[in-house]
């Protein structure tokens, strides 16, 4: 395309363009802190840092910052910004700019409140904020505002979508729109009980308006939210995988039906599975733990369908690129293509997710969970899911959006294409070492350097200390990868505009494109999702209430 001609994409208004750039840049700046605290974790855990704190930040304070920023703030702000861009491009109408700004302002206010509490050491309660450890009220209020702001962002898309449906009767909704709506329907279902936990229980309790709360109830409501949360992270990446990756690779999406079915299955099965995080908890009957185990295996199905569909799509692309043979075609994909760099980000995410899927099935396997629950195995697992496809998809797409919407070209392209591979190497070392020590019982979320990996402590465990070094090497490579990413991102952000700002994405055609009415309508899936969530949660909540003998007042972590 010649300089100065109109872009092929959707021209964005100045208001939405500025909002998008800001809503991508703010979480990226925060991610710098989040990544730093992740790296320092590996030093503490390896026993290289043997201290309560480093550079003025306490271990558990840093761990809280790492989890909250990376998993909650970065992901939520990004998902809404990505959704705004998808709506504008695929429905060819912008969501209301003022409402979009309002949603962002609420999320930002929440983020700043929570950041205040965390940076001043008033909320070292980790990102799960389990009571009765009690944080400053500003932490809980901040979390509530972040969620409410994201709802505003989502509700802003609904009139645009309904308008599109009216104007395009009988047309299939674009797959990208189906995907991003599924993500936010899952989010809305998940955050409803979370809102109850935070607004009706934690905020009044932290302000002293009520003395005691039911700890197990709060924990159960949290995990009602906590597992669908991971699909809220994952589904936007699935949008990139289904809609964009096949096109970037030079091919087509193998099956449009598979994409639609997968998104609908996520709506139905994301929520009624949370008890697999509470398999070791008291006060919940084993029948309900079984039910959630079976449903969790059900929610593995859409990911297995995805594995097949994406492999088939990549094979088709590779054969279009001249690949042949049973496995020889794998050589014909643009792994190191600097122009099509987004391929590397998405592809490496898929590689990591292969392991994330397998280890996830282990975690959900009922009593097998006894071996790994709350051990280092768990962070080893989720750094190949939320730290795999989600991180690489979200950072890659952040860079893509900043370049596209800002009318810039990506700077440092050679370094950029190395980012995902460096990350892959780092996570491979990190997660392998932690999986081994985890099965051996090494606890997660623990300042190991002071005890378990300290040769002078009576609790010293030699194997954890030895493998901790490998974890730290992995952490260092992960840090290097992210430093490279930040260099590329900020160099691109600060570079001169070269093209007319617009929004466009690579969009794959479907190889098999059949009509299947059942996956073309959200309504029946939402109804089933709500019914299933209620049925799967009423009996365990009843158990929780009758097994709890007394409420708890708040405790400070120190």
DSSP-derived secondary structure letter, 277? G
Residue 153 C-beta: closest distance to another protein, Å: 31
Stretch (H or E) spanning 4:
none
CB of 201 to another protein, least distance (A): 14
Phi–psi pair at 278, nearest 5 degrees? -125, 30
**Residue-wise over 117-147: b if at least 16 C-beta within 10 A, else e?**
bbeebbbbbbbbbebebbbbbbbbbbbbbbb
Q: Is 227 a catalytic residue?
A: yes
In the set 381, 430, 505, 537, the catalytic residue is 381
- Residue from 219, 227, 247, 292 carrying the catalytic annotation: 227
Distance CA 281, CA 129 (A): 17
Residue 132: cis peptide before it, omega within 30 degrees of 0: yes
Active site residue 136: no
Q: Which is nearer to another protein, 330 or 366 (CB)?
A: 366
One of 154, 444, 522, 537 is an active-site residue; which one? 444
**Of 231, 394, 485, 537, catalytic:** 231
In whole angstroms, give the CA distance from residue 466 to residue 191.
Answer: 41
Residue 381 falls in the annotated catalytic set = yes
Return the residue matching tokens 């794998």: 330
Q: Where are the alpha helices (DSSP H) in 375-412?
A: 377-382, 391-406
CB distance 377 to 359 below 8 Å: yes
Residue count of the chain:
558
C-beta closer to another protein: residue 59 or 154: 59
Query: Which of 320, 451 has the CB closer to another protein?
Result: 451
Report the nearest approach of another protein to the CB of residue 128 (Å): 8
Among residues 300 and 415, whose Cβ is nearest to another protein? Answer: 300
d(CA 34, CA 78): 15
- The first and second tokens of residue 193, run together, are 């009980």
Tell me how far, at minimum, the Cβ of 170 lies from another protein, in Å: 22
Closest to another protein by CB, 177 or 215: 215
Q: Which two structure tokens, joined as six digits, stand for 461? A: 């465990």
C-alpha 328/C-alpha 325 separation (Å) is 5
Half-sphere exposure of 181 (CA within 13 A, CB side): 25
Cα–Cα distance between 389 and 382 in angstroms, integer?
10
Q: What are the b/e assignments for 484-516, b being 16+ CB within 10 Å?
A: bbbebbbebbebeeebebbbebbebebbeeeee
Q: Which is the catalytic residue, given 104, 355, 445, 505?
A: 445
Catalytic residue among 74, 181, 242, 382: 382
Three-state DSSP state, 214: coil
Q: Which of 383, 394, 430, 505 is catalytic?
A: 383
Shortest separation between residue 198's beta carbon and another protein, angstroms = 17
512 annotated active-site: no
- 445 among known catalytic residues: yes
Nearer to another protein, 3 or 514 (CB): 514
Closest to another protein by CB, 440 vs 504, is: 440
DSSP state of 6: P
Nearer to another protein, 7 or 365 (CB): 365
Q: How far is the CB of 256 from another protein (least distance, A)?
A: 11
To another protein, the closest distance from the beta carbon of 460 in angstroms equals 11
SS3 507: coil
SS3 for 65-92 is HHHHHHHHHHHHHHHHHHHHHHHHHHHC
Least distance to another protein from the beta carbon of 167, Å?
30
- Residues belonging to the active site: 227, 231, 381-383, 444-445
């Amino acid at each position: 395309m010649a300089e100065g001609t109109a872009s092929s994409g959707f021209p964005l208004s100045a208001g939405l363009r500025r909002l998008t750039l800001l809503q991508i840049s703010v979480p990226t700046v925060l991610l710098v802190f989040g990544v730093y605290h992740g790296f320092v974790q590996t030093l503490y855990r390896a026993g290289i840092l043997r201290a309560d704190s480093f550079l003025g930040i306490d271990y558990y304070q840093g761990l809280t910052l790492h989890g909250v920023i990376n998993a909650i703030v970065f992901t939520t702000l990004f998902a809404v910004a990505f959704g705004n861009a998808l709506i504008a491009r695929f429905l060819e109408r912008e969501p209301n700019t003022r409402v979009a700004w309002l949603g962002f302002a609420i999320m930002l206010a929440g983020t700043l409140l929570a950041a205040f509490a965390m940076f001043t050491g008033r909320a070292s309660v980790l990102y799960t904020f389990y009571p009765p450890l009690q944080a400053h009220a500003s932490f809980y209020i901040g979390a509530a505002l972040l969620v409410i702001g994201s709802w505003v962002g989502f509700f802003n898309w609904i009139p645009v979508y309904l308008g599109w449906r009216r104007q395009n009767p009988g047309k299939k909704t674009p797959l990208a729109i189906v995907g991003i709506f599924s993500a936010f329907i899952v989010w809305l279902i998940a955050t409803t009980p979370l809102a109850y936990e935070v607004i009706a229980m934690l905020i009044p309790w932290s302000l002293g308006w009520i003395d005691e709360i039911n700890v197990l109830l709060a924990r159960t409501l949290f995990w009602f939210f906590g597992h669908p949360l991971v699909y809220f992270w994952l589904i936007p990446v699935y949008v990139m995988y289904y809609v964009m990756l096949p096109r970037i690779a030079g091919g087509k999406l193998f099956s449009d039906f598979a994409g639609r079915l997968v998104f609908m299955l996520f709506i139905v099965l994301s929520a009624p599975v949370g008890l697999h995080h509470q398999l070791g908890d008291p006060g919940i009957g084993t029948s309900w733990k079984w039910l959630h185990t079976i449903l969790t295996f059900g929610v593995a199905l859409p990911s297995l369908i995805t594995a097949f569909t994406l492999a088939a799509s990549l094979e088709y692309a590779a054969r279009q690129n001249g690949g042949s043979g049973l496995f020889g075609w794998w050589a014909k994909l643009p792994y190191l293509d600097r122009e099509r760099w987004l391929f590397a980000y998405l592809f490496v995410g898929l590689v990591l997710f292969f392991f994330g899927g397998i280890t996830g099935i282990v975690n959900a396997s009922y009593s097998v969970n006894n071996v790994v629950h709350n051990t280092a195995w768990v962070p080893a697992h989720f750094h190949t899911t939320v730290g795999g496809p989600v991180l690489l998809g979200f950072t890659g797409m952040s860079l893509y959006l900043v370049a596209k919407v800002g009318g810039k070209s990506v700077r440092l392209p050679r370094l950029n294409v190395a980012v995902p591979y460096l990350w892959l190497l780092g996570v491979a070392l990190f997660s392998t070492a932690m999986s081994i020590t985890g099965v051996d019982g090494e606890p997660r979320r623990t300042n190991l350097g002071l005890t378990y990996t300290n040769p002078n402590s009576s609790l010293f465990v030699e194997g954890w200390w030895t493998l901790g070094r490998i974890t730290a090497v992995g952490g260092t490579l992960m840090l290097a990868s992210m430093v490279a990413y930040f260099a590329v991102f900020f160099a691109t952000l600060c570079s001169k505009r070269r093209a007319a700002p617009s929004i466009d994405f690579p969009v794959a055609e479907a190889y098999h494109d059949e009509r299947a009415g059942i996956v073309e309508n959200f309504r029946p899936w939402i109804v089933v999702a709500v019914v299933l969530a209620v049925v799967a949660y009423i009996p365990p909540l009843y158990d929780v209430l009758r097994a709890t003998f007394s409420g708890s007042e708040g405790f400070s972590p120190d």
